[in-house]
Chains A and B, each alone.
Chain A
Amino acid sequence: MDIYFLRTPNLARFYERIAHDYELFVPKKTDAGPKIKCEHGVNLPADEYLLNRFQDVNKDEIVFNAYRSIEPVRSFFTHLKEQVCNYFNNKEIKPGKPVAVSGVKNCDLYSLKIQDFVFLDGNEPDPFYKARRESALIISGDCPAFKESCFCRAFDINPYADEGFDFNLSPIQEGYLVDAASQKAKSIAATMKDILVPATGNQLQEKADGRERAVKKLDEHLSKHKIPKKETLREIVLAGYNSKVWNEQMRTCVECGGCVFMCDTCHCFLLFDEESSASAKRMRIWDGCLYKNFTRVAGGANPLKMRYMRLRNRYLKKFDFFTANMGTQACCGCGRCIDVCPGKIDIRYILRRLHEEKHIQSI
């Protein structure tokens, strides 16, 4: 294992080296509120982080994000709106400079597995996703704290990463432990001997203790939310097909699409064409099943014509379809859909309700 110690003042230099070969994105604090008291009386941080282009942020604004960013990390691999072909000429659409993303968390890495399943596996891989994914450098980081909406551990996803990254940063006294896991990361690390020194046994212990503390605090908080275990998710959404919870919860949905767009495991898109003749091009935009016309067919028939059907559909897709096809649920517990929803629709509550209803019915 290649684990080094990086002193805090050298973080900017670490990033500068990477920015030399990559289009680098780094975490910046965009909102630093006072702590909030959650519904269970626990004091929790209200800070928000965005992943900004390294060139665009003042070096003193770069932070180590204590938990996941506002934006879903999938946005670096499929763009909200992008051109995917120039029609009949199979002319190459030039991939940009490879991206390096820092501030990635373990929930995001779980989500990337879902995105990989969609865009790399199956009949034919998506050439744009594949090119970006293969060339990217992922710099993940442990979560020393969590947000009110975080519930990764409810689905056995840890607030730190063991795999799926190139570099991983673990905050310790006076700096970070830098784990160079991939070949790519190892060769970059080899050029940074001036700022990366081998980690000591004490530092490794400090990292392990930090992780353990984070897990303990999060588990304590989540025990109050009573979120069903991941093994039961498929069963409860199928059993809850006719549950009242869909109709009750959809009442405050304004169909903004926030939940699907902010979600790191959602992946749906729509192809559409722009302009005509020689300059015609095919675009791909993110789409979502909370929108009314998502499943409408010619003549106007629509299997998801009511809002409650669309809300339910999102859960069936995540917990039935993905469990059946990929063996795991398409939800990482990042809570982004909870934070964004103007209707205060909370996935933790819906899952708990489904679980309770299934439980009571089976008595």
Chain B
Amino acid sequence: MKKNIYSPFEAVVEEVRQETPTIKTFVLRPAEPFVFRTGQFIELTVPGLGEAPFTPSSDPGVKDIMDVTIMNAGLVTSKLHAMNKGDKVGIRGPYGAGYPLDKFAGRDILIVGGGVGLAPLRSLLYSLFSDMDKYNKVVLRYGAKTPTDIVYKDLIPKWEKKAKVDVATTVDVADVNWRGNVGLVTNILRDAPVDVKNAVGVVCGPPVMMKFVALKFLEMGLAPADIYLSMEKNMSCGLGKCGHCRIGPFYACKDGPVFTYEQLKELNDIWD
């Protein structure tokens, strides 16, 4: 029998970084070099317990190690959060279509993240940064619940300093030390310095947040075909076979997880 599509290969946890009280970034060293395109996802196995889908948050240009940023949300993720350096996990993938970087060339790229939704966008940012001549500019807008809930606290200031990159962060609820924006991420979108005629909008976050950002993008004048959404669906196989992740005529695991609003706009109840 040839390759078994259900078999994970081994990876070792090389480092664990606490991002927020509920989010950790795991640095994994796969048994074999791992190639993925930004926006593609993996199925991560906790041996004996099960799998869950995650989008690598590291630079796709780096093949021997991979970061995955994970929120503690349930069975598999709480077990992952209990893991330490040296523990073993399993990986299947990469799956899905990822971001079509070719279509971003020569454009203003407006990227909006919410909470742990910045994870896949971090990998997108690295892909863009590695080839900045190709793009007009990158504008990142990030929202978190409170200042403590911001991920990549030490990385965001570095991104801000890059040429042709504009970054702003906001929190729903401030604390005493917070000097930045307060309010929903949609509030800091209107003034985003992009030429809407030549912009693409990318959003990843909780479903309600994606809904309101997508509507905001439309209001700003972005074309439905230039709005990229990361659809979170229950998944099991990641292979377009198990049937769990259907959205209309698509499977999120195979045709997505990144979709344009154009692809989804005629479908019923996409935000549920």
Contact = CB atoms under 8 A, between A and B. Distances in A.
Interface of A: 84-88, 90, 92-93, 95, 118-119, 122-127, 131, 241, 267-277, 280, 282, 284, 287, 289, 294-299, 301, 303, 313, 316-317, 320-321, 324-325
B90 to A, nearest CB: 6
Nearest to A323: B249
Contact of A88 (B5, B10, B243, B244): B10
Contacts of B232: 297
Contacts of A321: 246, 248-249
Contacts of A320: 248-249
Interface residues of B, number: 39
Given A271-B237, A303-B272, A317-B246, A84 B45 contact: no
A299 B242 CA distance: 22
B2 A296 contact: no
A296 B1 contact: no
Contacts of A127: 1-5
Given A119-B241, A271-B51, A298 B6 contact: no
A122 B8 contact: no
A122 B234 CA distance: 20
A280 B48 contact: yes
B243 A317 contact: yes
Contacts of A124: 3, 5, 239
Contacts of A85: 4, 6-8
Contacts of A294: 234, 244
B55 to A, nearest CB: 14
B244 A90 contact: no
Given A85-B4, A87-B47, A287 B242 contact: yes
B25 interface: no
Contacts of A287: 236, 242-244
24 contacts: A84-B4, A85-B6, A86-B7, A87-B8, A87-B45, A87-B47, A92-B1, A93-B4, A95-B1, A119-B241, A122-B240, A267-B241, A268-B242, A269-B237, A270-B244, A271-B51, A271-B237, A271-B242, A273-B47, A298-B74, A313-B246, A316-B248, A317-B243, A325-B249
A289 B234 CA distance: 12
Contacts of A289: 243
Given A131-B1, A270-B244, A276-B48, 15 more contacts: A84-B6, A85-B4, A90-B3, A90-B4, A124-B3, A124-B5, A269-B236, A280-B48, A282-B6, A287-B236, A294-B234, A301-B272, A316-B248, A317-B243, A321-B246
B219 interface: no
A301 B233 CA distance: 10
A92 B1 CA distance: 7
Given A273-B45, A298-B77, A87 B7 contact: yes
A72 to B, nearest CB: 16
B168 to A, nearest CB: 27
B49 A295 contact: no
A298 B52 CA distance: 10
B8 A123 contact: no
Contacts of A87: 7-8, 45, 47, 90
Contacts of B2: 127
A221 B151 CA distance: 65
B3 A126 contact: no
Contacts of A125: 5
B269 interface: yes
Contacts of B244: 268, 270, 287, 294-295
A320 B10 CA distance: 39
Contacts of A282: 6-7
B268 interface: yes
Contacts of A296: 234
A90 B31 CA distance: 13
Contacts of B86: none
A268 B243 contact: yes
Contact of A301 (B8, B207, B243): B207
Interface string B237-272: 101111110101100001000000000000011001
Nearest to B43: A271
A273 B259 CA distance: 30
A85 B234 CA distance: 22
A78 to B, nearest CB: 10
Given A277-B47, A317-B246, A88 B241 contact: no
A302 to B, nearest CB: 8
